[in-house]
């Protein structure tokens, strides 16, 4: 069943008013009509079954029939700080990271980042990125749409430590020396509702100077298996490991 993420003020008692692109999608793409059903979610992660009771030129009116009790969100809030990769790899990270449960994405300009995003085009980029995570959240039956932040410099990441309970960075050198246990040990100590920040480097990885600064700031370096993963694969690996440790074990 199709899912739509709406603002809280679109919900009034047992009614919900859908406008804009969501209404267009309901009528023109899904071709739903009066009597058809969909799922609507508010900004508080509450989702409901809805029955369409009116289709008007400026929107769709629905009636809420019942709340969905199922919880599809990770028990922790994971923010992926991603060193900007080349091409459309970041879009893949956004899509798959959303499917795997990420709560936020922060594109980061790092020492080995090749990509340069023009400030004039950044607003359009973020709009596209936010659309990608919204569609992925609908497909994955998430209860929320992850937030995509504007591009930030590496130095700003260092100042975020106090906002998170756990701060990790994927570091291939840790794998090369055989230190495979830190990620597993860290996840065994994670408490529900913890805030986790994970930094992934771009192609070429995290530089030595960045490693030193991260550790000094309070980040923990961790290997993500004995194999060297691509920049776009690493966040999916870590999110999957978090899901396994906290949801499936």
Structural domain contains residue 72: no
Structural domain contains residue 62: yes
Report how many domains make up the chain. 2
Domain CATH for 185: 3.40.1280.10
Query: Does residue 96 sit in the same domain as residue 197?
Result: yes
Query: Does residue 146 sit in the same domain as residue 215?
Result: yes
Which pLDDT value is given to residue 173? 67
Which pLDDT value is given to residue 121? 84
Structural domain contains residue 100: yes
How many C-beta atoms lie closer than 10 Å to residue 6's C-beta?
19
Structural domain contains residue 54: yes
Query: Does residue 165 sit in the same domain as residue 50?
Result: no
Nearest to 159 by CA among 103, 210, 222, 218: 218
Full-model pTM: 0.92
Which pLDDT value is given to residue 174? 54
Query: Does residue 142 sit in the same domain as residue 39?
Result: no
Which pLDDT value is given to residue 180? 59
Give the pairing type, strands 11-12 and 77-83.
Answer: unpaired
How many C-beta atoms lie closer than 10 Å to residue 124's C-beta?
10
Structural domain contains residue 42: yes
To the nearest 10 degrees (0 to 180), the angle between helices 89-99 and 119-139 is: 30
CA–CA dist 218, 167 (Å, integer): 7
Query: Does residue 130 sit in the same domain as residue 47?
Result: no
Which pLDDT value is given to residue 226? 81
Query: Does residue 46 sit in the same domain as residue 90?
Result: no
What is the full DSSP assignment across 173-189?
HHHHTT---HHHHHHHT
Domain CATH for 48: 2.40.240.20
CA–CA dist 149, 130 (Å, integer): 9
Rounded (5°) CA angle 161-135-117: 55
DSSP structure class, residue 246: I
Query: Does residue 52 sit in the same domain as residue 94?
Result: no
Which pLDDT value is given to residue 37? 97
For residue 200, the cross-strand partners are: 82
Contacts for 124 with CB less than 8 Å, ≥ 6 apart? none
Structure tokens at 220: 């923990």
Is 169 in contact with 206 (CB distance < 8 Å)? yes
Query: Does residue 44 sit in the same domain as residue 85?
Result: no
Structural domain contains residue 14: yes
Q: Which range of residues forms the domain containing residue 56?
A: 3-67
Query: Does residue 167 sit in the same domain as residue 196?
Result: yes
Which pLDDT value is given to residue 178? 52
What is the full DSSP assignment across 10-51?
GEETTEEEE-HHHHHIIIIIS---TT-EEEEE-TTS-EEEEE
SS3 5: strand
Q: Residue 61, exposed/middle/buried by CB under 10 A (0-12, 13-18, 19+)?
A: middle
Query: In the block, which residue shows the tokens 């691509």?
Result: 230
Residue numbers of the chain with a pLDDT score lower than 70:
173-180, 249
């Amino acid at each position: 069943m199709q899912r739509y993420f709406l603002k809280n003020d679109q919900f009034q008692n047992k009614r919900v008013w859908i406008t804009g692109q969501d209404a267009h999608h309901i009528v023109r793409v899904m071709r739903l009509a009066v009597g058809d059903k969909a799922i609507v979610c508010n900004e508080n992660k509450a989702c409901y079954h809805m029955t369409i009771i009116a289709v008007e030129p400026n929107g769709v009116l629905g009636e809420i029939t019942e709340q969905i009790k199922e919880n599809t969100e990770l028990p922790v809030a994971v923010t992926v700080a991603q060193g900007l990769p080349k091409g459309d790899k970041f879009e893949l990270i956004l899509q798959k990271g959303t499917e795997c449960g990420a709560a936020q994405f922060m594109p980061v300009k790092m020492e080995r980042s090749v990509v340069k995003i023009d400030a004039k085009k950044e607003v359009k980029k973020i709009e596209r990125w936010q659309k990608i995570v919204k569609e992925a959240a609908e497909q994955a039956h998430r209860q929320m749409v992850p937030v995509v932040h504007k591009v930030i410099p590496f130095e700003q990441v260092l100042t975020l430590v106090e906002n998170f309970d756990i701060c990790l960075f994927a570091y291939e050198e840790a794998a090369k020396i055989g230190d495979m246990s830190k990620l597993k040990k860290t996840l065994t100590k994670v408490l529900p509702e913890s805030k986790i920040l994970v930094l992934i480097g771009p192609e070429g990885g995290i530089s030595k100077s960045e490693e030193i600064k991260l550790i000094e700031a309070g980040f923990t370096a961790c290997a993500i298996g004995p194999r060297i993963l691509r920049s776009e694969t690493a966040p999916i690996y870590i999110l999957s490991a978090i899901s396994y440790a906290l949801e499936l074990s």
